[in-house]
Structure 1
Amino acid sequence: MRAGGPVQERPEVRIDRSDVGRRVSVRRVCGFVGDRPVFRDAIGVLTSWDDHGLTIAPRAGEPVTFAERLLVAGKVVPLFPARRAPLPDATPVELQRTAARGWPAVEQEALGDWTLRASAGFTRRANSVQALGDPGRPLPEALTAVRAWYAARGLPAWIEVVTPGSPDGLRAELDRLGAAYAPTLVRTAPLAALARTGSGHDKVRLSRTADASWLSLYRRVTDDPALEEAARRVLHGGPSVWFATVPGAPGQPPLAIGRCVIDGPWACFGAIEVQPYARRAGMATAVMAVLAARAAEEGATGAYLQVEADNAGAIALYDGLGFTTSHTYHYARLPQG
């Protein structure tokens, strides 16, 4: 055998294009020694299957791509069996910096140790200054520079205030200027338990990109082209990003979506959305479990997320999944000046 017959004529091939986005095990022909084929196996997420061939994303290393005619065996396999491990050690400052890498702003500029971030107004996190450390100048001057930087971009001036982490006296200076505050909780959980949660995992599909269907359920996307482009860049930024989808009926939008970015021992979860008519069916839990299993496969052991302090529904969901509050930070909005 040098090329293999059609897939339907190969009984050991138990996957097809509808399995794109699932974890699979495949065997393929990778060469010949004389007339004898040499086989190679791969386990990972089937990220694509089209007329150009199949692509598998293994737990580490580069994706594996090969022609369909070289596929000799394949099957869907269970989620990665995540092993129990304690939460990674991390201070609030370290978690905030990790979160910034997983949601990278389109434009960034240093102000001393601070980082000015702008993304056409797409989310406060990507359009605020991360005020960790010393800005390299007195706080009143630093905040004047912050206000001018954002005004030049037609954006309000938001400051991410973390205690401990932000400079002593920053909160008092912001109070003096009349800043308004919005608290956000950072919640953490062991990853292994999350990966074993719930059911319906077989309905979830993973992808490296957020396609139009995924974006159709993402509530932060608008019809503004500049905002949509910024959203795409931020969403796809980060060390190792995965998008999860629970497909709807043919021709219909997805029932649920989610995003996870893996950065060393940490996996950040976000954009967990479920259609209103499909809620309370465990889909958000299934999405997070499949993303958690993939993160564990890449070596992560801790999960974290950021949730607005007044989002009672999301907080209740995360409570049930074992998340506890690591720390609270605030977005402070400077008044126009």
Structure 2
Amino acid sequence: MEISAKGRLEVRITPADVGKRVSVRRLGEPGTGPEKFTDTVGVLTSWDGGVLMITRRDGETVRIPQNTLVAGKVVPAAPARRRGPAATYPELARVAARAWRPLESERLGEWELRAAVEEVPREGAAPGHAAPGERPAGTVTGRRTGFTRRANSVLPLGDPGLPLDAALAAVRHWYGERGLPAYVQTATGADGTQELLCAELERRGWVREVTAELWTGAPAPVADRAEGAQVVLSRTVDEAWLARYQRKGLSEVALRVLSSGPSVWFASVPGAGEGEPPAAIGRCVVDGRWAGFSAVEVDPGRRRQGLATAVMAALARRALDEGASAAWLQVEADNEGGRALYRALGFLPHHAYHHYRAPGKPEASGRSGRP
């Protein structure tokens, strides 16, 4: 907190500081506890009508009446990182996007509109896996969805070249033509993230549906872990790997997205018996200096046996062989087991990311818009 030479707390922020990272202290809410003050750190996203809105690292917005402020100051744009690879948000956003490539994309200024539309079996149809190039058994045309929001959302890394309302209207029209809801992927909590855009989307009624975090670390310490299990690496995904993957009945589109990326590897630990699904699986995309880990799944009956670590160690060794020196992964806030594992392997949160969905139904579409 900002303290004057006379020892008094001072408010040293103004509405001109909107867009900057601030630390404020306010009087606590009546009846909330014995603490007299409440501290908030985040990006000041608005200061209107005597009310401050501050977006914290996790994307949550805090409303603070101006008359409750007792101290405030501008602080560095991002907290210092004690360890882990140095990286900006835009760099990581582009690397992560290349690991989940869409089937089609279009530029809107510096925004990228991304889509990977797949047909979904209607109710009563028998789903089934398919090899790349083949349609899953039981697929019926007419109902559409997008495989993974990461490949079916806007990546807004700069100026769309239009006023925001016009850009969002163009986004809704583009996804509506494909029978999809419009999503915008944003991030908070690091240098160069999009707290102001998040606030503008929320003012327009866009709904935040998903929040997760991107963590970074180094592949070398992961690769040094003893495997303790046989791990098989492959360039292609097969039926056995898919049997352990949490998504079932994947279409050709989904398989193409899974196999996308500059250099993709799939890992599996064989199951207990012939014909059994793998005990554990994982996926890694090597992209220059970065290795991105995903789809780490373990048979619930085989957890806490080091299988996830074994999978990641094998993938990390292969990534090192291909020249990777840094690593990233994405993990949801409620995945306590995954977060504990990744922290033990040396990963730390870099930023939070969010998917905002447009209000209402998809626009300008003659196709089904159900996700």
What is the TM-score with the length of structure 2 in the denominator? 0.64
Partner of 1:156, secondary structure, is coil
Question: Is residue 171 of structure 2 the alignment partner of residue 146 of structure 1?
Answer: yes
Question: Is residue 258 of structure 2 the alignment partner of residue 229 of structure 1?
Answer: no
Q: Which amino acid aligns with 2:87?
A: A
Cα distance in 2 between the residues matched to 1:256 and 1:134: 42
Cα distance in 1 between the residues matched to 2:270 and 2:164: 49
Q: Any stretches of 5+ residues in structure 1 without a counterpart?
A: 1-85
Q: Any stretches of 5+ residues in structure 2 without a counterpart?
A: 1-82, 118-145, 362-371
2:310 maps to what in 1? Answer: 286
CA contact (8 A) 1:195 1:289 kept: yes
Partner of 2:251, secondary structure, is helix
CA contact (8 A) 1:206 1:242 kept: yes
CA contact (8 A) 1:270 1:305 kept: yes
1:243 is aligned, of 250, 256, 266, to 266
Residues 174 and 299 of structure 1: is their aligned pair in 2 closer, same or farther, counting only changes over 3 Å? same
User: How far did residue 177 of structure 1 move?
Assistant: 2.0
2:88 maps to what in 1? Answer: 91
User: How far did residue 137 of structure 1 move?
Assistant: 0.2
| Percent of paired sites with the same residue | 56
Question: Is residue 118 of structure 2 the alignment partner of residue 113 of structure 1?
Answer: no
Cα distance in 1 between the residues matched to 2:308 and 2:284: 13
1:186 is aligned, of 200, 211, 214, to 214
| Number of residue equivalences | 247
CA contact (8 A) 2:243 2:277 kept: yes
User: How far did residue 173 of structure 1 move?
Assistant: 2.3
Q: Which amino acid aligns with 1:328?
A: A
Once the two structures are superposed, residues 10-51 of structure 1 have per-residue CA deviations (whole angstroms, 9 ceiling, x without a partner) of xxxxxxxxxxxxxxxxxxxxxxxxxxxxxxxxxxxxxxxxxx
Cα distance in 2 between the residues matched to 1:100 and 1:250: 36
User: How far did residue 273 of structure 1 move?
Assistant: 0.6
CA contact (8 A) 1:131 1:162 kept: no
1:321 is aligned, of 335, 342, 345, to 345
2:233 is aligned, of 206, 221, 238, to 206
2:246 is aligned, of 202, 219, 226, to 219
Cα distance in 2 between the residues matched to 1:186 and 1:122: 20
**1:35-114 map, 5 Å:** 87-114=84-111
Cα distance in 2 between the residues matched to 1:126 and 1:229: 14
CA-atom RMSD in angstroms: 1.7
Higher helix share: 1
What is the TM-score with the length of structure 1 in the denominator? 0.70
Cα distance in 1 between the residues matched to 2:226 and 2:205: 46
